[in-house]
């Protein structure tokens, strides 16, 4: 059942190219993005003046990534919030608010209660869910299914990549309905998305190398993760995977915050992952990150750098370099997250832990 792998999660990590591809199937027809299972009409999408994304755990990190794409493509303000915090603080919602609830299981109580609160306030709710007919999609106005198959590993991997993909579809559908992107631009973005699975598969080819790096760090007390822009939620997700699976202290930071506090943590030998943006994207992002790596390396950190292949500028500062294929900035998380998942799983295995069933965690938490 585990497809010859030591644990389900490794199989699920390998299934990610398929999960991304399947989540896209049928969502582009006659030159337009189509959100099936949609009970939200174009007119309603046009009336949206604000978006909230609510979710928990890895789904929340997928939500953080949604913000970059939706704001960029639609010029709508997007707030991303932990579902467990959302309804207790009286968020400003009305019928022109779109609430996107992301949940792999579709049964998470915190997210379900956030959906109920949003509906009481007359907001429109769109669920992104991996489980047909679950409670959250049942109570939402519309649902967009991630089609990555059941996820067995308690820590989310393939659902996360599929959720990111679904978020892009929501962003493109909004941009299309609102006319903030021309039809040919939407078509081009979709084509780019369709080409991502083969790049995810390329990242998987370097799994053995990542596992080898992981074994070297299997017994350190702390690992830090740094990223900027879309690399920041990726850093948070990398840290979460390591906490969940390897019970290791791990923290993700926005690289720009380093100098405002976390740099005090840097000491000799501390492993720090750095998610480098594409050098072909905004040059300023890339150069800022480069100077962050320099700073931490000068203070003795052991740097593990995830960078686009051919980005030679990082080589002098990377104690370990993990190369990923080139991708547009917004889509890079579909690639850069994968080595972090493999790293966490391998560290957990090296420590003798059950990768599929980490202690104290449940696959879906149906109590608030």
Residues serving a catalytic function are 363
Q: Which residue has the tokens 């979710």?
A: 55
Smallest separation (angstroms) from ligand BG6 to the CB of 303: 28
Rule CB under 6 A: is residue 152 a binding residue for ligand BG6? no
Does residue 66 bind ligand BG6 (CB under 6 A)? no
Q: Which is nearer to ligand BG6, 76 or 152 (CB)?
A: 152
DSSP class of residue 272? E
Q: Which stretch binds ligand BG6 (CB under 6 A): 22-30, 56-64, 186-194, 345-353?
A: 56-64
Is there a contact between 358 and 245 (Cβ–Cβ < 8 Å)? yes
Distance of CA 358 to the CA centre of its chain: 20
Residue 105 binds to ligand BG6 (criterion: CB under 6 A):
yes
Q: What number of chain residues touch ligand BG6 (CB under 6 A)?
A: 17
Q: How many CA atoms lie within 13 A of 89 on its CB side?
A: 7
From the number of C-beta atoms within 10 Å of its C-beta (0-12, 13-18, 19+), residue 185 rates as middle
Give the residue with the Cβ less far from ligand BG6, 189 or 237. 237
57 binds ligand BG6 (CB under 6 A): yes
Among 23, 74, 84, 108, binds ligand BG6 (CB under 6 A): 108
Nearer to ligand BG6, 290 or 345 (CB): 345
Q: Which part of the chain contacts ligand BG6 (CB under 6 A), choosing from 52-60, 192-200, 315-323, 324-332?
A: 52-60
CB 336 within 8 A of CB 306: yes
3-state secondary structure 340-368: HHHHHHHHHHHCCCCCCCCCCCCCCCCCC
Q: Is 146 in the site for ligand BG6 (CB under 6 A)?
A: no
* 104 is a site residue for ligand BG6 (CB under 6 A): yes
DSSP state of 178: H
Q: Binding to ligand BG6 by residue 297, rule CB under 6 A?
A: no
Q: Determine, following the binding rule CB under 6 A, whether residue 58 of this chain makes contact with ligand BG6.
A: yes
According to the binding rule CB under 6 A, does residue 341 interact with ligand BG6?
A: no
Q: Residue 237 Cβ, how far from ligand BG6 at the closest point, in Å?
A: 10
**Residue 361 touches ligand BG6, criterion: CB under 6 A:** yes
Site membership for ligand BG6, residue 156 (CB under 6 A): yes
Alpha-carbon gap, residue 319 to 213, rounded angstroms: 10
Of 169, 146, 340, 139, the residue nearest 239 (C-alpha): 340
Residue 217, both tokens: 């760090």
**How many Å is the maximal CA-CA distance in the chain?**
57
111 binds ligand BG6 (CB under 6 A): yes
**Sole binder of ligand BG6 in the list 126, 127, 155, 213 (CB under 6 A):** 155
Q: Where are the alpha helices (DSSP H) in 217-324?
A: 231-246, 283-298
Here the tokens at position 361 are: 């965690």
- Answer yes or no whether residue 23 interacts with ligand BG6 by CB under 6 A: no
State how far the Cα of 74 lies from the Cα of 77, in Å rounded to an integer: 9
Task: Please tell me whether residue 59 binds ligand BG6 under the rule CB under 6 A.
Answer: yes
What SS3 state is found at 1? coil
Of 22-30, 277-285, 324-332, 356-364, which segment contacts ligand BG6 by CB under 6 A? 356-364
- Choice between 115 and 330, CB closer to ligand BG6: 115
φ, ψ for residue 300, nearest 5 deg: 95, 0
Q: Which residues pair with 303 in a beta bridge?
A: 272
Residue pair 304/272 in contact (Cβ under 8 Å)? The answer is yes
Tell me how far apart the alpha carbons of residues 225 and 289 are, in angstroms, rounded to a whole number: 12
Of the candidate residues 309, 362, 366, 368, the single one contacting ligand BG6 (CB under 6 A): 362
Residue closer to ligand BG6 by CB (options 173, 236) is 236
When asked if residue 154 is in the footprint of ligand BG6 (CB under 6 A), the reply is: yes
Provide the minimum distance between the beta carbon of 344 and ligand BG6 in the complex, in angstroms, as a whole number.
12
Q: Which residue has the tokens 């400003």?
A: 92
* Residue 103 lies near ligand BG6 (rule: CB under 6 A): yes
Q: Which residues bind ligand BG6 (CB under 6 A)?
A: 56-59, 103-105, 108, 111, 154-156, 361-365
């Amino acid at each position: 059942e585990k497809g010859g792998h030591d644990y389900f999660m490794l199989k699920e990590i390998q299934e990610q190219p398929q999960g991304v591809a399947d989540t896209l199937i049928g969502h582009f027809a006659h030159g337009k993005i189509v959100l099936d299972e949609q009970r939200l009409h174009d007119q309603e999408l046009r009336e949206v003046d604000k978006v909230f994304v609510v979710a928990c755990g890895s789904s929340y990190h997928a939500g953080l990534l949604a913000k970059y794409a939706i704001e960029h493509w639609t010029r709508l303000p997007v707030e991303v919030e932990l579902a467990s915090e959302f309804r207790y603080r009286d968020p400003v919602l009305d019928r022109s608010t779109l609430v996107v609830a992301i949940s792999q299981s579709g049964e998470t109580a915190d997210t379900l209660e956030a959906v109920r609160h949003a509906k009481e306030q007359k907001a429109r709710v769109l669920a992104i869910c991996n489980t047909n007919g679950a409670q959250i999609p049942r109570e939402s106005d519309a649902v967009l299914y991630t089609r990555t198959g059941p996820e067995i590993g308690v820590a989310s991997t393939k659902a996360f990549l599929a959720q990111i993909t679904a978020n892009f579809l929501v962003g493109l559908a909004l941009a299309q309905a609102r006319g903030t992107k021309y039809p040919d631009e939407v078509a081009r973005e979709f084509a780019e998305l369709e080409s991502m699975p083969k790049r995810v598969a390329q990242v998987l080819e370097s799994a053995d190398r990542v596992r080898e790096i992981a074994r070297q760090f299997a017994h350190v007390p702390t690992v830090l993760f740094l990223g900027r822009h879309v690399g920041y939620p990726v850093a948070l997700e990398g840290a979460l995977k390591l906490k969940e699976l390897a019970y290791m202290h791990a923290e993700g930071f926005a690289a720009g915050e380093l100098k405002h506090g976390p740099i005090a943590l840097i000491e000799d030998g501390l492993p720090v992952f750095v998610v480098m943006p594409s050098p072909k994207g905004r040059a300023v992002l890339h150069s800022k990150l480069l100077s962050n790596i320099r700073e931490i390396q000068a203070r003795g950190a052991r740097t593990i750098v995830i960078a686009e292949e051919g980005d030679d500028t990082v080589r002098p500062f990377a104690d370990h370099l993990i190369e990923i294929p080139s991708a547009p900035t917004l889509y890079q998380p579909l690639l850069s997250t994968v080595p972090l998942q493999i790293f966490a799983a391998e560290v957990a295995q090296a420590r003798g832990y059950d990768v599929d069933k980490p202690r104290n965690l449940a696959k879906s938490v149906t109590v608030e």
